Amino acid sequence: MNLHRFLAYTVLACWIGLTGVVVGTALQWSAANATSEVRVQRALNAQKEASASATNSAQQDLTDVPDDLKGAYQIRDDRAVARAEAASEAMGDALNFELVERKQFWWELGVWACLTLLASALLAERRDGDEKPSAHR
């Protein structure tokens, strides 16, 4: 009987501890989701800017523009492309982090549910055992 009580309280303590962990992971997943949405928007804006910059350069008649201005336009275009690439990489990293957080949450929730069932079974069995001796008296 003491071993049974020990197991029940150990499972209950693990369940209580894991409840906090699951809630914390859910909050991290929510934050990762918000971060990824921001990064996706930034990447889209940077890609639009790079596309617009390249389109403007292509539409401009660069034949009568001085060479130093041509170089400035090229540097501007290169910077826009570099910003778009960096934003795309940040977006990919944020989406991957969100995916990892989501998987971690679902695994933790599954373990939490199993501990809930196990603790319920152990504590219900203990109550049944406590009620039987008093019924015989």
Q: Which residue has the higher pLDDT, 62 or 75?
A: 75
Q: At residue 107, does pLDDT exceed 80?
A: yes
pLDDT-derived band at 91, boundaries 50, 70, 90: confident
Q: Cα separation of 21 and 42, whole Å?
A: 31
User: Euclidean distance between the first and final Cα of the chain, in Å?
Assistant: 20
Q: Residue type at 1? A: M
pLDDT at 137: 45
Where b means 16+ CB within 10 Å and e means fewer, 99-133 reads eebbeebeebeeebeebeebbeebeeebeeeeeee
- What three-state secondary structure class fits 137? coil
